[in-house]
Amino acid sequence: MTGLEIIKKAGEEKRAVLTEIEAKHILTEIGINCTATLLAASKREAVELSEKIGYPVVLKISSVDITHKSDAGGVKVNLKSQDEVERAFDQIMEGARSRFPSANIEGVSVQAMAKPGVEIIMGMIRDASFGKVLMFGLGGVLVEVLKDVAFRIVPIERNDAVEMIEEIKGRKLLEGYRGQEPVDIAYLQDMLLKLSDFVDQTPGIEEIDMNPVFAYKEGAAVVDARIILSVD
């Protein structure tokens, strides 16, 4: 299924929120690197997919009704064996059903444990005055604490992407701080341009949240992603 088909299907279902798996499928299709993420509807499937991907893995609750997976206890990381995956699956499902008894839960997503990098947030919001607006900043909990984010109206050009990255106060973390390797800033610029092109050419996108994106010396990877659609 293509990204446009995913969006169309969600619209037919009057569903605004895409699953992480759907969101990553769309982002991968437009050339944005995401950690491979597969759906397991059962504990047995979770083990089989974990062994196929290779340990360590991450399990996350997969439900359009649970947007803040960590707050719901729906994320288990660095799972290194079948036993750990089985225990994590049970804990995730029990916790989700306890906290969100009416949620539609399709299972858990299984993905490889990404190597650590500088955490970035990247995405798009729809502003009441300016329309579609692209954002870039430090990710993870830092975006909530520091709110160190730059914005540009879509569509953007290369110089806009350059300025967005240069504007944030934490840019030294990207340039290599206290012996850390600098990240691939040109790659991040390309990601912003691809995201801008996509939201500019695709109607019905209300919000895209890619957080965290792990930025490396070479390349970057979207570890978690959310896409929200407008629903008539």
142 pLDDT more than 70: no
- The verdict on domain 118-229 having CATH code 3.30.470.20 is yes
Chain region(s) in the chain for CATH 3.30.1490.20: 3-112
This model's pTM is above 0.85: yes
49-91 pLDDT per residue, tens? 999 999 999 999 999 888 778 777 899 999 999 999 999 999 9
Chain region(s) in the chain for CATH 3.30.470.20: 118-229
Distance (Å, whole) CA 166 – CA 185: 10
166 pLDDT more than 80: yes
- What average pLDDT score do residues 91-112 get? 92
CATH architecture of the domain covering 3-112: 2-Layer Sandwich (3.30)
Confidence tier at 16 by pLDDT (50, 70, 90): very high
189-217 pLDDT per residue, tens? 999 999 999 999 999 999 999 999 999 99
